[in-house]
């Protein structure tokens, strides 16, 4: 597949992945289970590829290990955020990932943003005002304060921080290997770590309850595994060709689909305002993309 087809699959898979996560949280699935089970499916599917992988360097193992820890932490927090807040709010917030990733990208990868990229970041921040759930009985100057006090938003920003740092180590692992090897061990190590977390944190009763939940809801878990695979492969193939910050900005175009799905499937309100905010954020993302289109990868 070409790069841009993978980019398209990544953009579409991300919001649908969030949809299946939200469905599973409503079925009483624990966030850690929602991470572990799809990774288990991907780990099993990845096992045959081990035969074809070349020897991997120490730099790969160090970076993929750090990446795995950050991925499990970030994704667990993301599921908790999806459980608590609207998809049409959480989707646009993902635009901040390109902002958060700039500092580690500069320090660890030597990727320096251009002035147009900085202007794009300003648009992302400005557009976020429109996605906020405003209360007409409270002063508008308190909108951002109330926004950041929301527990779901707090979990989303915590997840965003871990996933933005993860993106940097993911690219460093990718530089020391290839997309297939990185995907295989991201899946296997991620499953191992999340399974260990379940073993340490779950009681026997809770574990039995989560197994029963998994059996009863195998279809959304299977679909979550598929969308996770498409999302991660799309991410890796894009990272191989483009800078991290600009890749994350490009992925932000999935925001519009998140807003639509949240409104259509979960009857989330403020559709027009959140759509406008998403478009402004996409304009910011476009500036970042244009700034990085001819930059080094």
Given this model, what pLDDT does residue 140 score? 53
Given this model, what pLDDT does residue 112 score? 67
Instruction: Please give the sequence-ordered ranges of beta strands (E in DSSP) within the chain, or none if there are none.
Output: none
Rg from Cα positions in the chain? 19
Q: Is residue 297 part of a domain?
A: no
Given this model, what pLDDT does residue 281 score? 82
Given this model, what pLDDT does residue 297 score? 41
The number of folded domains in the chain is 1
Q: Is residue 251 part of a domain?
A: yes
Helical axes 58-84 vs 31-46, angle rounded to 10° = 140
Q: Is residue 58 part of a domain?
A: no
The Cα–Cα gap between 209 and 221 comes to 15
Q: Is residue 138 part of a domain?
A: yes
Q: Is residue 284 part of a domain?
A: yes
The Cα–Cα gap between 243 and 112 comes to 10
Contact 239, 164 (CB under 8 A): no
Provide the 10 A C-beta neighbour count for residue 278. 27
The 10 Å CB-count burial string (b at 16+, else e) for 143-159 is eeeebeebebbbbbbbb
Residue 45 tokens read as 């599917």
Residue 150 tokens read as 């929301």
Given this model, what pLDDT does residue 120 score? 79
The Cα–Cα gap between 144 and 147 comes to 5
The Cα–Cα gap between 239 and 150 comes to 32
Contact 180, 173 (CB under 8 A): no
The Cα–Cα gap between 238 and 96 comes to 18
Residue 137 tokens read as 């009985």
Residue 278 CA, chain-centre distance (Å), reads 17
Structural domain of 205: 3-50+69-292
The Cα–Cα gap between 63 and 23 comes to 32
Residue 83 tokens read as 């459980």
What's this model's pTM, rounded to 2 decimal places?
Answer: 0.87
Q: What is the pLDDT along the chain (297 residues), one digit of tens a residue?
A: 588 899 999 999 999 999 999 999 999 999 999 999 999 999 999 999 999 898 999 999 999 999 999 999 999 999 999 999 899 888 888 777 766 666 666 666 666 667 777 787 788 778 877 887 655 455 555 666 666 777 888 899 899 889 878 988 999 999 999 999 999 999 999 999 999 999 999 999 999 999 999 999 999 999 999 999 999 999 999 998 887 767 777 787 888 899 999 999 999 988 998 999 888 887 877 776 666 544 444
Given this model, what pLDDT does residue 296 score? 44
Given this model, what pLDDT does residue 287 score? 76
Q: Is residue 118 part of a domain?
A: yes
Q: Is residue 177 part of a domain?
A: yes
The Cα–Cα gap between 68 and 73 comes to 9
The Cα–Cα gap between 200 and 197 comes to 5
Q: Is residue 148 part of a domain?
A: yes
């Amino acid at each position: 597949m070409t790069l841009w087809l993978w980019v398209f699959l990544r953009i579409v898979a991300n919001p649908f992945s969030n949809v299946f996560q939200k469905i599973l949280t409503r079925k009483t699935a624990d966030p850690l289970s929602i991470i572990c089970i799809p990774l288990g499916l991907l780990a099993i599917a990845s096992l045959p590829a081990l035969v074809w992988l070349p020897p991997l360097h120490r730099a790969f193992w160090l970076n993929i290990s750090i990446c795995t820890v950050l991925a499990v932490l970030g994704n667990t927090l993301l599921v908790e955020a999806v459980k608590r807040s609207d998809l049409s709010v959480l989707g646009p917030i993902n635009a901040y990932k390109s902002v958060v990733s700039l500092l580690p990208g500069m320090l660890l990868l030597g990727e320096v943003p251009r002035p147009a990229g900085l202007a794009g970041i300003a648009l992302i921040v400005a557009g976020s005002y429109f996605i906020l759930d405003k209360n007409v009985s409270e002063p508008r100057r308190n909108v951002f304060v109330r926004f950041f006090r929301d527990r779901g938003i707090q979990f989303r920003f915590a997840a965003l921080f871990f996933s933005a740092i993860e993106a940097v180590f993911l690219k460093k692992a990718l530089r020391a290997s290839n997309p297939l090897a990185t995907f295989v061990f991201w899946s296997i190590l991620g499953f191992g770590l999340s399974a260990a977390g379940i073993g340490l944190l779950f009681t026997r009763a809770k574990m039995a309850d989560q197994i029963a939940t998994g059996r009863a809801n195998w279809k959304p878990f299977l679909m979550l595994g598929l969308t996770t695979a498409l999302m991660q492969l799309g991410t890796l193939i894009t990272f191989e060709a483009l800078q991290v910050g600009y890749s994350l900005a490009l992925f932000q175009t999935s925001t519009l689909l998140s807003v639509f799905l949240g409104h259509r499937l979960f009857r989330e309100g403020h559709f027009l305002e959140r759509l406008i905010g998403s478009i402004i954020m996409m304009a910011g993302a476009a500036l970042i993309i244009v700034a990085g289109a001819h930059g080094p990868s």
